[in-house]
């Protein structure tokens, strides 16, 4: 026994094709509202306001209110985003008539049938086929369309079996449907004639409806009434789409005229239910993708998607979140997290800053220390007359003069090693040094200095640094930044004239012409000093031990070590009177006025030493020391010159030459300085005498002798002694520190 009732709604829509009128955007006269329901394009209620009849709706007054209808189905709302429309569907009831004992159908139709070309499909996702009752069996079928036929069965023994909200077979069942359905029919099947059940549940119900809108209630059973929300109607969801184009791919290929997604920032979406497509605004845009310019940028910041402690910034199609300083936006968790990088960076930055500060402080300390050291060095420098020198160096450009550092000189002398000592004198110690890796120099380092001596170094340097003559020892540089001033001299290696004349090896046959040449060269050197500057540079301590000899036995005047500038105040003037006994200008002894003629006098004594081979002061036994000059002068007076001449000399030179030399010496030894020749005259006269001596036979002899000397290993066993170099002070030679006066 089965009662079959098939109910279907056949709305045959002939012009369902989606056909927007080219670029013709729906007129602004089209109503977009029907009652409370918004009607967005492509839907329309006025003629020509929708692309094809499929999207046409009727706006009818129902119960006094305007409502849109799609045929018999009232439209609740339209979603462009989801491509769905909710309409009210009709519930079908099936009841037992106790008076007649038969079953009867109630309610309206059970489906929607608009054909395959209709935009609408029954949503398989959002709808269920609901069957309510304690003795109910109903089917949903689409035999002509998809061929689907489903069943819903609901049963219960008595009311106590029923549970509110539970729709899983007891008093209520729900059944899913397949896709692509646009129509269905509902049929109830007759069940067992159960009088027990009819007592409390006579009616069964069946409807395809929106799952979300349904909640089972036991009352539906006990009161025999399930009439939905709107007089036997419940919402059902329809998926709509542009169906005449199969998919987005096809639609995009053939955009001419019929492509529905007219808005920029819109995209085509394949329909999820049957063929066709819908349009959607791309992410970050919302609006109507079916209208040109319909998709509008969403101001996401309106509903602040960012963390509460963040800041939102809207940009086209999207938005940006940022967090305050020190925090970093984490997109995954949408939170403002402590910015490790920033913190690390900040920490590193602070750390770096700290290091910089520490380095600065360290540098500061270093600089202060350095300054202190420099101050000490500058103090020494000043004490040692360095400022004077530098003033001079500044005013006289191109001075070939070096200022050495202490370290350089320590290195040059092997840290002032004893083995490097060339000689020791009253003023200090002279070391052999090597600078610039190969250059030999003599480095004079003062021992103990008193205030006066300290000044003398600066002065000596000042004088020497200016002088460049082959017969004057060259000062290469100095170092004033130490307590003890250090001077760097040209290295002159062959001892002094003193050693040559009075040297240990008296047997040495030193050629007279060599001595004459040395005397001439020394005279040239002194002459140069006198003429070099105005006022003249006065040596002040001319003596044989201050005439050094280089490799070729060329004379080099040395020892400006005790030189000072002529003092301006008289008191100092007097105390400064010093020289070497035996060489001292007698006029100077009386006047305390050192002149260039004082040097000439001293040079005269040198000539005497050459002629006589005697020391300037003869110390014979207990006798009073006798001055060589006095002996000589008295001999000259008595015409006894030959008696005083040294024997070797007599053999080597003509008497004429010797007499000339003796005359020159005599002139030099004049008591009155004004009567003495100038140093230039002396040099010229010596030059003349040398030429006189250069007769062929004399020259030959001389050259032979010189060869012996130059050869170094002389057959005569000449010994080179470098004591006192370049101070020129031999232990066996009593001398006072001399003084040069830079006369004004």
Ligand X SMILES: *[C@@H]1O[C@H](CO)[C@@H](O)[C@H](O)[C@H]1NC(C)=O
| Per-residue binding letters, 137-166, with ligand X (x by CB under 6 A) | --------------------xx-x------
Q: Which range touches ligand X (CB under 6 A), out of 65-73, 276-284, 649-657, 726-734? A: 276-284
Least Å from the CB of residue 227 to ligand X: 4
Are the C-beta atoms of 76 and 57 separated by less than 8 Å?
no
**Hey, which bits of 465-549 come out as E strands?**
475-479, 486-490, 547-549
Instruction: Tell me how far apart the alpha carbons of residues 704 and 696 are, in angstroms, rounded to a whole number.
Output: 12
The DSSP symbol for 537 reads B
Helix residue ranges per DSSP H, 533-654:
570-575, 586-591, 596-612, 628-637, 641-644, 647-652
SS3 assignment, position 228: strand
Binding residue count for ligand X, defined by CB under 6 A: 33
Of 249, 181, 223, nearest in space to 8 by CA: 181
698 by DSSP, 3-state: which? helix
Of residues 257 and 535, the one with the C-beta less far from ligand X: 257
- Name the residue nearer to ligand X (CB basis): 280 or 729: 280
Q: Smaller CB distance to ligand X: residue 82 or 146? A: 82
Within 120-139, which residues bind ligand X (CB under 6 A)? none
Is the Cβ of residue 41 or residue 457 nearer to ligand X in the bound state? 41
- Tell me which residue has tokens 């030099």: 668
In angstroms, what is the minimal distance from the CB of 290 to ligand X? 13
Judged by CB under 6 A, which of 146, 211, 217, 247 binds ligand X? Answer: 247
Q: Which two tokens stand for residue 591?
A: 């006047």
Consult the annotation and say whether 444 binds a ligand: yes
Q: How far is the CB of 249 from ligand X (least distance, A)?
A: 5
Distance of CA 311 to the CA centre of its chain: 34
Please give the structure tokens belonging to residue 352: 């770096």
Among 58, 231, 309, 379, binds ligand X (CB under 6 A): 231
CA angle 406, 407, 412 (to 5 degrees): 100
Looking at 212, 250, 350, 694, which residue binds ligand X (CB under 6 A)? 250
Task: Kindly state the smallest distance separating residue 272's Cβ from ligand X, in Å.
Answer: 7
DSSP state of 293: T
As measured in angstroms, the least distance from the Cβ of 259 to ligand X is: 9
Block residue for tokens 């006047």: 591
Q: Among candidates 281, 269, 214, which has minimal Cα distance to 242?
A: 269
699 vs 338: CA distance, rounded Å:
103
Q: Which two tokens stand for residue 217?
A: 């209630």
| 57 to 96: interface string for ligand X, x by CB under 6 A | ------------------------xxx-------x-x---
* Structural contact between residues 440 and 432, judged by C-beta atoms closer than 8 angstroms: yes
Among 6, 27, 36, 97, binds ligand X (CB under 6 A): 97
Largest CA distance in the chain: 195
Residue 354's Cα: distance from chain center in Å? 17
DSSP state of 533: S
Least distance (Å) between residue 92 CB and ligand X: 7
**For the chain, what's the residue count?**
744
Closest to ligand X by CB, 158 vs 334, is 158
| Between 245 and 482, CB nearer to ligand X | 245
Question: How far is residue 569 CA from its own chain's centroid?
Answer: 62
Q: Judge whether 541 counts as a catalytic residue.
A: yes
Under the phi-then-psi rule, with left for phi > 0, alpha for psi from -120 to 50, and beta for the rest, what region is 472?
A: beta
| Residue number with CB closer to ligand X (17 or 578) | 17
Exactly one of 211, 217, 222, 258 binds ligand X (CB under 6 A); which one? 258
CA atoms of 455 and 9, how far apart (whole Å) = 132
* Position among 232, 307, 503, 677 found at the interface with ligand X (CB under 6 A): 232
Which pair of structure tokens corresponds to residue 114?
Answer: 């608009």
Instruction: Pick the binder of ligand X from 211, 270, 335, 648 (CB under 6 A).
Output: 270
Work out how close the CB of 327 gets to ligand X at its nearest, in angstroms, rounded to a whole number: 29
| Separation of alpha carbons 203 and 220, rounded Å | 9
Report in angstroms how near the CB of residue 243 gets to ligand X at its nearest: 13
127, 201, 204, 280: which one contacts ligand X (CB under 6 A)?
Answer: 280
C-beta of 34 vs 206, nearer to ligand X = 206
CB of 258 to ligand X, least distance (A): 5
Pairing of strands 120-122, 185-188: unpaired
Burial class (CB in 10 A: 0-12, 13-18, 19+), 7: middle
Which of 277/512 has CB closer to ligand X? 277
Closer residue to ligand X in complex, CB, 284/734: 284
DSSP state of 121: E
Site for ligand X in 281-310 (CB under 6 A): 283
Closest CA to 520 of 497, 494, 495: 497
Mask 183-202, x = binds ligand X (CB under 6 A)? ----------x-x-------
Q: How far apart are CA 171 and CA 717, in angstroms?
A: 147
Tokens of 592: 């305390």
What span, in angstroms and rounded, lies between the C-alpha atoms of 400 and 467? 10
Q: Is 107 in the site for ligand X (CB under 6 A)?
A: yes
Half-sphere exposure of 625 (CA within 13 A, CB side): 12
DSSP E strands in 282-333: the ranges are 285-287, 295-297, 310-315, 318-323, 327-330
| Nearest to ligand X of 213, 514 (CB atom) | 213
The residue within the footprint of ligand X, chosen from 27, 33, 36, 101 (CB under 6 A), is 101
How far apart are CB 28 and ligand X at their closest, in Å? 26
CB closer to ligand X, 3 vs 65: 3
Per-residue x/- mask for ligand X, residues 339 to 368, rule CB under 6 A?
A: ------------------------------
Residue 332, H or E segment: none
Q: Looking at residues 558 to 577 of the shown chain, list those that interact with ligand X (rule: CB under 6 A).
A: none
Pairing of strands 402-403, 475-479: parallel
Q: What is the DSSP letter of 174?
A: E
Chain centroid to Cα 285, Å, comes to 46
Given the residues 142, 541, 585, 596, the one annotated as active site: 541
Q: How far is the CB of 324 from ligand X (least distance, A)?
A: 30
The nearest distance, CB 36 to ligand X, in angstroms, is 22
* Cα distance between residue 96 and residue 101, in whole Å: 7
Binding site listing for ATP: 444
Binding site listing: 444
Catalytically active residues, by annotation: 541
Residues that bind ligand X (CB under 6 A): 81-83, 91, 93, 97, 99-102, 106-107, 157-158, 160, 193, 195, 227, 231-232, 247-250, 253-254, 256, 258, 269-270, 278, 280, 283
């Amino acid at each position: 026994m089965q009662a079959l009732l098939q109910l279907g709604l056949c709305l045959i829509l002939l012009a369902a094709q989606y056909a927007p009128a080219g670029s013709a955007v729906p007129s602004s006269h089209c109503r977009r509202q029907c009652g409370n329901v918004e009607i967005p394009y492509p839907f329309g209620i006025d003629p020509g306001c929708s692309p094809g009849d499929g999207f046409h709706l009727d706006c009818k007054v129902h119960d006094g209110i305007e409502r849109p209808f799609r045929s018999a189905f009232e439209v609740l709302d339209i979603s462009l985003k989801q491509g769905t429309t909710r309409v009210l569907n009709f519930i079908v009831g099936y009841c037992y008539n106790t008076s007649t004992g038969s079953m009867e159908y109630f309610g309206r139709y059970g489906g929607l049938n608009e054909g395959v070309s209709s935009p609408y499909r029954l949503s398989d996702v959002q709808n269920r086929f609901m069957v309510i009752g304690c003795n109910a069996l109903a089917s949903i079928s689409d035999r002509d369309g998809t061929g689907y036929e489903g069943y819903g069965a609901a049963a219960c023994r008595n009311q106590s079996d029923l549970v509110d909200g539970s729709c899983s077979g007891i008093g209520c069942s729900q059944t899913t449907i397949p896709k692509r359905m646009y129509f269905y029919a509902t049929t109830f099947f007759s069940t067992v004639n159960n009088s027990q059940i009819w007592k409390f549940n006579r009616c069964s119900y069946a409807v395809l409806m929106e799952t979300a809108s349904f909640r089972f209630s036991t009352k539906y059973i006990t009161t025999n009434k399930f009439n939905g929300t709107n007089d036997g109607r419940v919402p059902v969801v329809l998926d709509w789409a542009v169906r005449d184009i199969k998919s987005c791919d096809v639609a995009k290929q053939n955009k001419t005229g019929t492509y529905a997604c007219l808005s920029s920032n819109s995209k085509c979406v394949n329909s999820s239910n049957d063929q066709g497509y819908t349009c959607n605004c791309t992410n970050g845009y919302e609006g109507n993708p079916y209208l040109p310019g319909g998709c509008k940028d969403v101001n996401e910041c309106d509903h602040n998607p960012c963390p509460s402690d963040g800041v939102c910034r809207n940009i086209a199609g999207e938005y940006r979140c940022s967090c305050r300083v020190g925090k970093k936006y984490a997109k995954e968790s949408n939170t403002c997290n402590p910015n490790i990088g920033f913190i690390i960076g900040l920490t590193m930055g602070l750390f770096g800053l700290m290091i910089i500060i520490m380095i600065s402080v360290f540098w500061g300390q270093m600089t202060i220390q350095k300054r202190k050291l420099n101050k000490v060095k500058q103090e020494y420098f000043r004490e040692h007359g360095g400022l004077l020198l530098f003033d001079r160096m500044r005013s006289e450009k191109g001075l070939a003069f070096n200022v050495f550092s202490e370290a350089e000189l320590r290195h040059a002398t092997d840290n002032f090693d004893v083995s490097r000592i060339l000689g020791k004198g009253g003023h200090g110690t002279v070391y052999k040094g090597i600078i610039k890796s190969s250059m030999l120099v003599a480095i004079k380092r003062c021992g103990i200095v008193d205030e006066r001596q300290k000044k003398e170094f600066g002065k000596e340097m000042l004088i020497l640094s200016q002088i460049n003559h082959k017969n004057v020892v060259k000062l290469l540089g100095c170092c004033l930044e130490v307590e003890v001033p250090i001077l760097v001299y040209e290295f002159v290696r062959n001892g002094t004239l003193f050693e040559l004349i009075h040297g240990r090896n008296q047997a040495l046959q030193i050629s007279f012409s060599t001595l004459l040449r040395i005397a001439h060269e020394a005279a040239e050197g002194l002459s140069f000093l006198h003429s070099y500057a105005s006022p003249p540079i006065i040596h002040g301590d001319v003596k044989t031990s201050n005439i050094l000899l280089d490799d070729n036995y060329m004379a080099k005047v040395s020892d400006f070590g005790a030189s000072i500038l002529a003092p301006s105040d008289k008191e100092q003037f007097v105390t400064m009177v010093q020289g070497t006994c035996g060489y001292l200008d007698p006029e100077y002894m009386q006047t305390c006025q050192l002149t260039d003629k004082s040097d000439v006098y001293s040079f005269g004594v040198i000539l005497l030493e050459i002629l006589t081979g005697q020391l300037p002061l003869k110390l014979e036994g207990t006798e009073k020391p006798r001055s060589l000059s006095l002996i000589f002068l008295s001999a000259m007076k008595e015409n006894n010159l030959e008696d005083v001449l040294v024997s070797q000399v007599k053999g080597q030179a003509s008497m004429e030459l010797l007499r000339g030399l003796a005359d020159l010496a005599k002139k030099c030894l004049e008591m009155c300085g004004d009567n003495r020749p100038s140093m230039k005259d002396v040099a010229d006269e010596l030059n003349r005498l040398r030429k006189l001596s250069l007769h062929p036979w004399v020259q030959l002899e001389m050259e032979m002798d010189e060869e012996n000397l130059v050869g170094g290993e002389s057959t005569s066993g000449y010994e080179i002694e470098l004591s006192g170099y370049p101070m020129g002070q031999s232990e066996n030679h009593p001398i006072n520190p001399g003084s040069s006066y830079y006369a004004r």
